[in-house]
A = this chain, B = another copy of it.
Amino acid sequence: MRLPALSRLASILLVFAAYSAAQSQTQLNLMPMPSQVTQGQGQFLIDVKLAVAIQGLSDDRLAAARLRFLSTLGRETGIPFSIEPPSTGNFTLQAQAPSKPLPTLGEDESYRLTVTSTSVQLTAPNPLGILHGLQTFLQLVHITPQGFAAPAMTIVDQPRFRWRGLMIDSGRHFQPVPVIERNLDGMEAVKLNVLHLHLSENQGFRVESKVYPLLQEKGSNGQFYTQKQIHHIIDYASLRGIRVVPEFDMPCHTTAWFVGYPDFASGPGPYKIEPKWGVFSPAMDPTRETTFEFLDKFIGEMTALFPDTYFHIGGDECNGKEWNANPKIQAYMKANHIKDNAALQSYFTGRVEKLVAAHGKIMEGWDEVLQPDTPRDVVIQSWRGPQGLAQAARQGNQVLLSNGYYIDLNQPASEHYLVDPLGGEGATLTAEEKARVLGGEATMWSEFVTPENIDSRIWPRAAAIAERFWSPQSVVDVPSMYARMAAVSEKLNSYGLTHNSFTLAMLQRMTGSDDPAPLEVLASVVQPPQGYQREELHEYTSASALNHLVDAVPPESETGRKFNELAALIASGKASPAQWQQARTWLTLYRDNDAKLQPTLAASEITAELAPLSRSVSEVAAIGLQALDDLKAKHPVPTADRDKNLQTLKAAEKAKAILLDKLVPGVELLVKATAK
């Protein structure tokens, strides 16, 4: 969290006398980190006379990239650059050969960027590399005493993996075109190159079909992409060097299909759009030829609409209940020696794979589609665990890792960052098997995100994952990652992403106040529980309003993270006096905040639930302050007192209003340290 209130409070009024205006460039705020950087002498000053010229080969993508670059650089600097192409320039773009009309898996994405005090030269084998190099340059720009500038250096760079994806689930909560657009802009900024759209779910079918119009008419509650919008998204992505891979999940996760077309379901119907979250029973009927006739025409339409070579058919989480309950299906299985539901799904997937192939595409699916006889070109997206990846690669299939990159689960960036497609089980693969690991995808499942807060779940953590997919395997320094991710996060504001601005807007709405300061203080130190706990704590449907504090805070509390680092330093005796003072300042703020916040909570139906949480945060902070006093006084605290505090902290660990107090781990460290 960017924490405007707290960090500003602290820096202005409290302890941080050493305010630093211009961000220090002692480290390069690049993410993903390029594979090779050679620092030069001086800096390239950026002023209104900047002339960005395309040399030699040009095409639509390059011309559009140049304009987009000038527009972004204009937002980054406020300088009104001329957009008219100059004949010569002090900033040249030179691609050796054209890239393919649509970005294609395995194209060369490398580039070379040379910044001197007088010129910038960006060269690449094709325009895709130019796009990447322009984004690198934008990250280099910062304000200096001489004006905006980029430090002189030479960067030689290329990606580690060919497939660097972000999956957005538009099925559960529909994500309108502007959400997709701004996230494509964010993807370009961090060199992600595949947008995987999860387009059908029990809760909604999200693309206009002209062949089977009841899919969207009855299956979407009016929320779907028209084919015209899909064309637009593909064009928008292509200009940014990003492929769009559609996913139509089958044979399960298909309730919404059956509202309009119940005849190829395995149950008796009728069906209605599923309002709840979870795994549901509706499944396509693999035993009827009409199902495959339907899918043939459908896949024909959709493979024509989506030009990418890959076509994702999902295939996850079949519970088999409709199959079990259908006597005709049971009879078919018996007659055809299909031994169980997994085999039935395997039969289904095999048929679908042939349809996909017949339409000129390569099938992709989740772990479950992998069977011993799965064609070798089918791409497996591994979500259940790292074993899935290794198994697929060993079997000869190409594979993507998503396990470990589930950004809907509110894990800290560091956890995603340290998952490597070729780490763990992947590290045991042979070189040939490793070559089958195409890359990975961050997955943004959308049970708990709306257009309002989805950016905050994707960004900035997707930037850390993007670095994993792009940068050398050796780039693993977590503190460096957090520092660079914070810088990139700020840059992403000017791409229209809302991950830094959404909290204040939501708190204003919750309170009806334009200045919800005490609630901001509380918000700065709490975070949603990780994993699937949220669904256990409260029952949600698609009609639930995601307008509570748990929806309004980032997945990872930045203040919490920093406080816990500070507490560890103090507990281990390594903290400076300024760090002691900082911990005391924060704890005082949180202890005293409850008295200001509490009287206001009942005025809003949405904030009323926060009373116990606010009280608990205050109590935890008070215990922390007492521990600081005890540590300072260097007198050991009696065990009974300490145990009482630890019990209180244990209780405070529990989620309240579906939120965790991130002060607790650090305060526990402090209390435990009082034993010595």
A interface residues with partner B (beta carbon < 8 Å): 2, 4-5, 7-9, 11-13, 17, 19-23, 48, 75-80, 82-84, 142-148, 221-223, 450, 452, 486, 490, 493-494, 501, 504-506, 508-521, 542-547, 551, 589, 593, 596-597, 599-608
Contact = CB atoms under 8 A, between A and B. Distances in A.
A310 to B, nearest CB: 32
A491 to B, nearest CB: 10
A511 B8 contact: no
Given A604-B143, A604-B145, A547 B77 contact: yes
A551 B80 CA distance: 14
Given A82-B221, A513-B23, A545-B78, A521 B12 contact: yes
Given A145-B602, A604-B21, A79 B8 contact: no
B80 A8 contact: no
Number of identical protomers: 2
A21 B511 contact: yes
B514 A486 contact: yes
A222 B79 CA distance: 16
A564 to B, nearest CB: 20
Nearest to A519: B21
A265 B513 CA distance: 56
Interface centre among A143, A148, A516 (most CB of B within 10 A): A143
A603 B18 CA distance: 14
B80 A543 contact: yes
A78 to B, nearest CB: 3
A518 to B, nearest CB: 6
Nearest to A67: B222
A559 to B, nearest CB: 12
Contacts of A7: 515, 517
Top 8 nearest A-B pairs by Cβ distance? A78-B547, A21-B600, A22-B603, A8-B517, A143-B512, A23-B512, A22-B512, A147-B605
A80 B144 contact: no
A494 B486 contact: no
Contact of A5 (B8, B21, B80, B519): B8
Given A13-B589, A19-B518, A21-B599, 14 more contacts: A11-B515, A11-B518, A12-B589, A12-B596, A17-B596, A19-B597, A21-B512, A23-B511, A80-B544, A83-B222, A143-B606, A147-B605, A147-B606, A148-B605
A517 B145 contact: no
30 contacts: A4-B5, A4-B515, A5-B8, A9-B13, A12-B596, A17-B596, A19-B517, A19-B599, A19-B600, A21-B513, A21-B597, A21-B599, A21-B603, A22-B511, A22-B603, A23-B511, A48-B545, A77-B509, A78-B452, A78-B546, A78-B547, A79-B545, A82-B221, A142-B512, A143-B512, A144-B605, A145-B602, A493-B508, A494-B505, A501-B501
B603 A511 contact: no
Contacts of A607: 21
Contact of A511 (B143, B452, B546, B602): B143
A13 B14 CA distance: 10
A17 B505 CA distance: 23
Contacts of A501: 501
Contacts of A519: 21
Contacts of A12: 5, 9, 517-518, 521, 589, 593, 596
A157 B245 CA distance: 52
Interface centre among A5, A148, A512 (most CB of B within 10 A): A512
